[in-house]
Amino acid sequence: MINVIPAIDLIDGKCVRLTKGDYNQKKQYDASPLDMALRYQDIGIRRLHLVDLDGAKSSSPKNLHVLEEIATRTSLDIEWGGGIKSDEALRDAFNAGADHLIIGSVAVSKPELFARWLGEYGGDRLILGADINDGRVAINGWLEESEQTIDALIDRFLPYGLREIICTDIAKDGMLQGPTFDLYARLQAAYPEQDIIVSGGISKMDDIRRLDEMNLRHVIVGKAIYEGRITLEELKRGLP
């Protein structure tokens, strides 16, 4: 059964969601990040997707206090992304309690550095974050578009033990219109030994069921939960 990974996106320590990665299209939610994490843990969720949007725009993480609080107060397996662009930032995030780190911009702009990190920490702790827009990988909080394709990016790091790839279709993110099913099916078929983690566009449980039927293994769900399109009770019941 597909593993559902709830997302918490952070700006100034608050839960927010963006539309198509646009910082000017921000919606803030009342629940605190810790409260949401505890709710997810209570219904049996195992992994949490935490993204530091402030850090993604800058050169270092900005919300590590939130990570530390959630890591201390829950037993969730936490994947953290945003601002991991140096050895210091990487160590700080691990020390704050991250179980896995999502590396995006560095993988594109400094591939040798990401390759070294994979060699040092392993593919079970580092995840490639590939955020795509019109087929190209975007970096630095989705504010810049590179010439790199997702396939070329994945291929670059396979020899270094890459195991997990979070692929976010920016055009779908926050739109609640369903994910780009064909994209994820193609990637999972092309890289059967890796886990392609679906991100962006999930609008209802039927989307998750369809991905499960397509043999996708992991899916990140964010705005659909906050907007009540998918309830915690539905997540607790799981797929029929």
**Would the pLDDT of 98 be above 60?**
yes
For residue 2, give the DSSP letter. Answer: P
What crossing angle do the helices spanning 64-73 and 33-42 adopt, rounded to 10°? 30
- Which tens digits make up the pLDDT trace of 156-205? 999 999 999 999 988 777 667 899 999 999 999 999 999 999 999 999 99
131 is catalytic: yes
- Catalytic-role residue among 52, 131, 169, 173: 131
- Which tens digits make up the pLDDT trace of 35-45? 999 999 999 99
- Which tens digits make up the pLDDT trace of 211-232? 999 999 999 999 999 999 999 9
**Would the pLDDT of 141 be above 60?**
no
Q: Which residue has the higher pLDDT, 135 or 235?
A: 235
For residue 159, give the DSSP letter. Answer: G
Per-residue confidence band for 208, with pLDDT thresholds at 50, 70 and 90 = very high
Mean of all residue pLDDT scores within the chain:
92
**Would the pLDDT of 25 be above 80?**
no
Residue 138 has a pLDDT of: 81
Superfamily for 3-237? Aldolase class I (3.20.20.70)
State the Cα–Cα distance between residues 154 and 163, nearest whole angstrom.
Answer: 10
Instruction: Using a pLDDT cut of 70, give the percent of the chain over it.
Output: 95
Burial class (CB in 10 A: 0-12, 13-18, 19+), 178: middle
Residue 21 has a pLDDT of: 64
